[in-house]
Amino acid sequence: MTQHLKHFIDGVHTDASDGGRMRLVDPVDEKEYATAARGTAEDVRRAVAAARSQLQGGAWSRLDGAQRGLLLNRLADLVQRDLELLADMDAHAIGRSPMEPRMMDVPNAIANLRAAAGWANQLEGRTIPTSGYMGTQTLSYTIREPIGVVGAIVPWNSPLMITTWKVAALLAAGCTVVIKPSEETPQSALHLAALCQEAGFPDGVVNVVTGDGGVVGRALCEHPDVAKISFTGSPEAGRAIQRTAGPQFKRVALELGGKSPQIVFDDAAFDDAVRGCALGIFVNQGQVCAAGSRILVQRSIAERFAAALAEAARQVKVGDPAEPGVQMGPVAKKAQQERVNRYIRQGIEEGARLLAGGVSEPGEGFFVKPTIFAGATNQMTIAREEIFGPVGTIIAFDTDEEAVALANDSEYGLAATVWTTRLVRAHKVAQGLQVGAVGVNCWSPLDANLPWGGLKTSGIGREGGLAGALAFTEEKVITVLLP
Ligand code: NAD
């Protein structure tokens, strides 16, 4: 039976003002399985008003950090209780194997909530020595105040996990939120909001408005009572958000795309590097911001490595994730399937060698093939643009300096991996890379205590860890004259 999802505003499941409904389609058989409210600017206004009233004398504004931490821990317990349900919601919506969110995304969401529960009571100010005021001694100190109502705008590839990167930290800081989930994946955000109510968060602290980015997302960016936009998604939408939020001097955190290098040196543990590179480009069908899509391999092992990675690609079983043994489902939507095929065609046209996979034939479901190109250059389109699909491009290099230069020759700067057994090389190369995070002999280690974010077109700001919670506060200075 088709489910009809509503917004969650001020603790109530409520329909859209007049925006109608969006269809949610199963990527495996292309059939509608649910609809969601297509929100309007009016829905955003109602949600922001509810969020604002909790900050202005509402029950939430009277809770201290320890009490907020207690609620966050209760919420973590409830997410743990509903782990399978939440994982299955996110997996089904984008055609992903549920094992991945069960093992990675939802545990990470729980860890984010627990870490934030700890930060909630530790957002301390400072006492700062000064030269006094006109010859009189002063005491200057700072306090951390919640930034206000936050608009959290989320993509479809890891919906719950990314929602909690934002929501856990901002709740720890004492903010309130209006979540705008992706058009394709509103379910887990709505369930999380209902769990917030069950945990005891006052109504209005966590609201969800579903709908289109250009309407609901834009209305959040334009709303004068939204103090910060915390966005994860594409650079194109990030730019649109900057244009709207900028003139109001709204705070923004932008977690954008990537074209992340995996650098494999000839002294690397070969099989580990093959496995790591396969994971880095094939997990979640390559629909991962940190996907290790540019695979830079030292020339002396490049042919052998390419053959091994191509074999790993051929071994991936593609199909309906509900069937036993299937490791890779379809990509999330038709446009995504067309995008992946377009890039594969372009790679062939530009002269890269196709070792595994290739363009997928039309059929039911948005399936694509795990694909490996070799003999590529860093100037080819498949090495420069984010494909957001299971397409790895192998580029050979000779020296450490060349590897670092190739890695940095990208408009993106999100993450990188270094595969080597030489300690000094690992540290030196890691330090030379212009990215937000480097994994040495491990692809994209995520942890609730680690900051995450990128440079250049990969975005602005950091989420995660203490830095993530502090980013939802403003530091206020108070100076007292002590005559
Ligand atoms: P997207 O930019 O199309 O959409 C992301 C969200 O922004 C959606 O909720 C969408 O409705 C909304 N949106 C779209 N246009 C908007 C506008 N003008 N104003 C306000 N909101 C708007 O991205 P997507 O296709 O959902 O996700 C894929 C992208 O996300 C990839 O580029 C990927 O690399 C990136 N991503 C980055 C990270 C990271 O941590 N850096 C993590 C996951 C995904």
- The arithmetic mean of pLDDT across residues 370-398, rounded, is 98
pTM to 2 decimal places? 0.97
Contacts with 269 (C-beta within 8 Å, 6 or more apart), sequence order:
419, 421, 441
The 10s digit of each residue's pLDDT in 68-107 is 999 999 999 999 999 999 999 999 999 999 999 999 999 9
Alpha helices in 61-105 (DSSP H): 65-81, 83-94, 99-100
List, as one string, the DSSP characters of 151-172. EEE--SSSHHHHHHHHHHHHHH
Name the pLDDT band for 207 (thresholds 50, 70, 90). very high
Pairing assessment for the beta strands 226-232 and 251-255 based on DSSP bridges: parallel
Give kind and range of the element (H or E) at residue 295: strand 294-298
pLDDT of residue 93: 96
Best mutation site among 232, 412, 450, 456 for ligand 1 pocket (most ligand atoms within 8 Å of CB): 232
Per-residue tokens: 178 = 């209006």
- The arithmetic mean of pLDDT across residues 169-174, rounded, is 98
468: CA distance to ligand 1 center in Å? 19
Q: Give me the percent of the chain exceeding a pLDDT of 90.
A: 97
- Across the strands, what pairs with 34? 3, 24
22: CA distance to ligand 1 center in Å? 18
pLDDT of residue 2: 85
pLDDT of residue 18: 79
Measured from the Cα of 289, ligand 1's closest atom is 34
Measured from the Cα of 182, ligand 1's closest atom is 9
- Model confidence at 16: pLDDT above 90: no
Name the pLDDT band for 244 (thresholds 50, 70, 90). very high
Report d(CA 294, CA 292) in Å as an integer: 6
- The arithmetic mean of pLDDT across residues 391-398, rounded, is 98
Residue 11 phi, psi dihedral angles, 5° rounding: 85, 10
Catalytic residue among 100, 183, 184, 255: 255
- Cα 292 from chain centroid? 15
99: CA distance to ligand 1 center in Å? 24
pLDDT of residue 313: 98
- The arithmetic mean of pLDDT across residues 155-183, rounded, is 98
- Model confidence at 62: pLDDT above 90: yes
Active site residue 289: yes
pLDDT of residue 55: 98
- The arithmetic mean of pLDDT across residues 288-300, rounded, is 98
pLDDT of residue 15: 86
Which residue's alpha carbon is nearest to atom 30 within ligand 1? 233
Q: Give me the percent of the chain exceeding a pLDDT of 70.
A: 100
CB 240, CB 218: distance < 8 Å: yes
- Model confidence at 328: pLDDT above 90: yes
Report d(CA 26, CA 208) in Å as an integer: 22
pLDDT of residue 285: 96
- The arithmetic mean of pLDDT across residues 263-287, rounded, is 98
Report d(CA 98, CA 324) in Å as an integer: 12
249: CA distance to ligand 1 center in Å? 21
Pairing assessment for the beta strands 138-146 and 473-481 based on DSSP bridges: antiparallel
> CB of 213 closer than 6 A to ligand 1?
yes
> CB of 36 closer than 6 A to ligand 1?
no
pLDDT of residue 136: 98
pLDDT of residue 359: 97
The 10s digit of each residue's pLDDT in 95-150 is 999 999 999 999 999 999 999 999 999 999 999 999 999 999 999 999 999 999 99
Residue type, position 443, single letter: W
- The arithmetic mean of pLDDT across residues 53-59, rounded, is 98
The 10s digit of each residue's pLDDT in 422-454 is 999 999 999 999 999 999 999 999 899 999 999
> CB of 257 closer than 6 A to ligand 1?
yes
Report d(CA 72, CA 168) in Å as an integer: 7
